[in-house]
Amino acid sequence: MSSQSADNPPRLKTGSIAVSPRRQARIAGCLYLLVILGGAFSEAFVRMRLMVRADAAATAANLLAHEQLFRWGFVADLVPLLCNVFLTVIFYNLFKVVNRSLAALTVLFATMGTAIQGSVLLYHLVPLMLLKGGLSLNALTPGQLQALAYFALRMQTTGYTIALAFFGCFGLGLGFLVWKSAFLPRILGVLMAIAGFCYFTNSS
């Protein structure tokens, strides 16, 4: 009878096809890269470029002037959420042989963070609906609509900040699991733990 260990993580079975641990790690790496790129694009090229702090009118003008970029920001936020769904399955399958309880807790933190980000992503759709007359809000003045649009963006940002706390715990747990495993370089565990710590501190 064969037994699984941290030296020999299980294969991920999809139908009748078993995916090797090495391939799982590569897939996870590619998905994680998409998460990083999507998050970086939406933050650096969309929110930081279009949102003007404490200025609803200027923010509204930027959104209308760069509507397509703002819509791409929604896609850039959505792709990492989809990737996270697959990542949680892969990470649990890889690291349950290291510590099943910690692996389950770690992916639960990731799931919670993803759920929070997914729920507040709906706020991304609100500003253009308000500013372009997609809602029947004729009783509101342009200034009030701009304020509501800005409020929606702030709510999305606040939700993302809360989600960072969960992703921080995920990074710390994943870093420990990688460190304890015998099939991945320990330096990856250190880097994941550092990233998790940064996420957690930025959420406060």
> For the chain, what is the domain count?
1
Domain for residue 5, yes or no?
no
Query: Is it the case that residue 40 has pLDDT exceeding 70?
Result: yes
Query: Is it the case that residue 4 has pLDDT exceeding 70?
Result: no
Domain for residue 159, yes or no?
yes
Domain for residue 186, yes or no?
yes
Domain for residue 6, yes or no?
no
Q: pLDDT tens across 109-168, in order?
A: 999 999 999 999 999 999 999 998 766 677 889 999 999 999 999 999 999 999 999 999
Domain for residue 4, yes or no?
no
Domain for residue 39, yes or no?
yes
Domain for residue 34, yes or no?
yes
Beta bridge partners of 14: 17
User: What is residue 182's predicted lDDT score, i.e. its pLDDT?
Assistant: 85
Domain for residue 24, yes or no?
yes
Reported confidence tier of residue 38, pLDDT bands at 50, 70, 90: very high
Query: Is it the case that residue 170 has pLDDT exceeding 60?
Result: yes
Q: Which domain holds residue 64?
A: 12-202
- Radius of gyration of the chain, Cα coordinates, nearest whole angstrom: 20
pTM here?
A: 0.87
Question: Can you tell me the distance from the alpha carbon of 170 to that of 138, in angstroms, rounded to the nearest whole number?
Answer: 45
